[in-house]
Amino acid sequence: INNVRLELDQLRILITDCTDILQCRIDNALQTIAEIQLCEPQQDPISLDEFSKLTDESSQQAVGLITKQASLCEKAVRYLLEVLKKRLKPHEQVQIKESDSEYYDCALKSAMNTKGHVTRCNDCQPCAFFNFLTIYWNKNIDAIVQCTRSSLETIRKRLQQPVRYVGEEVIRDQVRNPLFRTDIVLSIPNVLVKPSLDDMQSQLNKSANTMLKIGQDIPEWYHAQKLREITIKEIEKQALDEGEDVKLAVQAKAPKPLHK
């Protein structure tokens, strides 16, 4: 009974430690990434050049913040796995290998009929650790996507004036300041808007592309690199077994970089 109580106490401590790491370090870092704004339009209208400069500077600053938080998240995830690993039995710890050649290899792979493919049982400890890293790498990607989507949505809302209709009457609940500063120029016999709508649309597209490509400047986790290598090896072996062109199979099925 005393041994059972001791094990239960140790389990409670482990659960508390893991919960603290998950909530205070991992989830907090992911939430911080998701809330970063790649571009925060100013209250007053600005010129196209000012908007372009604002977007570039804000995106560069955001990349630095995201890189820092993603690195903290990766370190916290690996620290959590180390905490869990210390609680495993010695023979289970030996199964978990993190070297380049045996990166969390499935402990039961040799007993499975894989037909030459790299596969996992998803039941052994190495597979559990590997899948845990994959889940939180995907959550890291989701946070970056949410950050980008939120930033684009902020610009969209600034451009679109909120209106509602009551019968045939149009009611504007809140009039927002325009995003761009323009001039009305008399060019007889025409009246022109400078910059033109095409120029504004072009700048919006350029700024949106700048925000969408921040992923190419954000370093990937080490696990993401290994995951890509493992996936490519699996694709190559599967293509060889099925008599397909290996190069074409890799191009079609290989994981895309973060910014794509």
**147 falls within a domain:** yes
pLDDT-based confidence at residue 238 (cuts at 50, 70, 90): confident
pLDDT-based confidence at residue 8 (cuts at 50, 70, 90): confident
| Amino acid identity, position 256 | K
CB of 115 closer than 8 Å to CB of 238 = no
pLDDT number for residue 113: 55
| pLDDT, averaged across the chain | 85
pLDDT number for residue 57: 92
pLDDT number for residue 30: 96
Beta-carbon contacts of 34 under 8 Å, excluding residues fewer than 6 positions away, are 142, 143, 146, 147, 150
Q: How many CB atoms lie within 10 A of CB 216?
A: 11
Mean pLDDT of 4-28: 90
**115 falls within a domain:** yes
Q: What is the pLDDT of residues 99-158, one digit of tens each?
A: 888 888 888 876 665 554 556 787 888 899 999 999 999 999 999 999 999 999 989 888
pLDDT number for residue 138: 94
| Amino acid identity, position 81 | L
pLDDT number for residue 165: 58
Q: Long-range CB contacts (< 8 A, 24+ apart) of 21-29?
A: 21/76, 21/79, 21/80, 21/83, 22/80, 25/72, 25/73, 25/76, 25/79, 26/73, 26/76, 26/77, 26/80, 26/136, 29/69, 29/70, 29/72, 29/73, 29/76
Q: What is the pLDDT of residues 199-232, one digit of tens each?
A: 999 999 999 999 988 988 899 999 999 888 888 8
Cα separation, 35 vs 38, in Å, equals: 10
Mean pLDDT of 38-51: 87
**254 falls within a domain:** no
**91 falls within a domain:** yes
**151 falls within a domain:** yes
Cα separation, 53 vs 40, in Å, equals: 12
> Helix H segments across 87-196?
90-95, 125-159
The residue among 189 and 60 whose pLDDT is bigger is 60
pLDDT-based confidence at residue 234 (cuts at 50, 70, 90): confident
45 pLDDT higher than 90: no
The residue among 78 and 115 whose pLDDT is bigger is 78
Among residues of the chain, what percentage have pLDDT more than 90? 39
Q: Which domain holds residue 83?
A: 2-210
**216 falls within a domain:** no
pLDDT number for residue 260: 67
**102 falls within a domain:** yes
Looking from the CA of 89 toward its CB, the CA atoms found within 13 Å total 3
**138 falls within a domain:** yes
Mean pLDDT of 173-180: 74
Domain count along the chain: 1
Which of 66-70, 154-158, 162-166, 248-252 has the least mean pLDDT? 162-166
